[in-house]
Amino acid sequence: MPKVNEFVNINTLDKEAKKDYFDRHTPFIYCDNDAKKGEKFIVKIKIGDQYPHPDDFDHFIKYVQLWNNETLLGETYFTAGTMGSQPGNVEVDFYIVPQRKMKLTAMSYCTKHGLWQSQAKEISVE
């Protein structure tokens, strides 16, 4: 079983290198707090908030997943060079059609530093 790196608030970290390391791997979920049942709902996932992640042939963000509780809703795969072989923040927009309230979590996988989990975000659906 792989280790899953859970969300850390980088304001609680003292060293700049540590803030960079945690932030650049962490998926962040951007979407409304409320959704309408049966209507398309957009969920943006961005990897890293303040620090960019490398896009090298042996070190890049390989996939991004969106989960609702224990159900995988979608995933997107990347190859090295997708971000122009420059440091950046991978972004993915998922369009989902919710039926009931959701608890969303995003995961990202770095080819060098493993699995990273976002904070969970609860969405009410009416």
Identify the DSSP state of 57: T
The residue within the footprint of Fe ion, chosen from 31, 90, 110, 123 (CB under 5 A), is: 110
Give the residue, chosen from 113, 115, 119, 125, that forms a contact with Fe ion under the rule CB under 5 A. Answer: 113
| List 18, 36, 37, 112, residue binding Fe ion (CB under 5 A) | 112
Site string for Fe ion, 62-101 (x = CB under 5 A): ----------------------------------------
Residues 14 and 58: their CA atoms lie apart, in Å, by: 29
Query: Rounded to the nearest whole angstrom, what is the least distance from the CB of residue 66 to Fe ion in the complex?
Result: 20
Cβ closest to Fe ion, residue 107 vs residue 123: 107
SS3 20: helix
The beta-carbon contacts of 7-10 under 8 Å, at least 24 apart in sequence, are 7/117, 7/118, 7/119, 10/50
- The residues of the shown chain that bind Fe ion, judged by CB under 5 A, are 110, 112-113
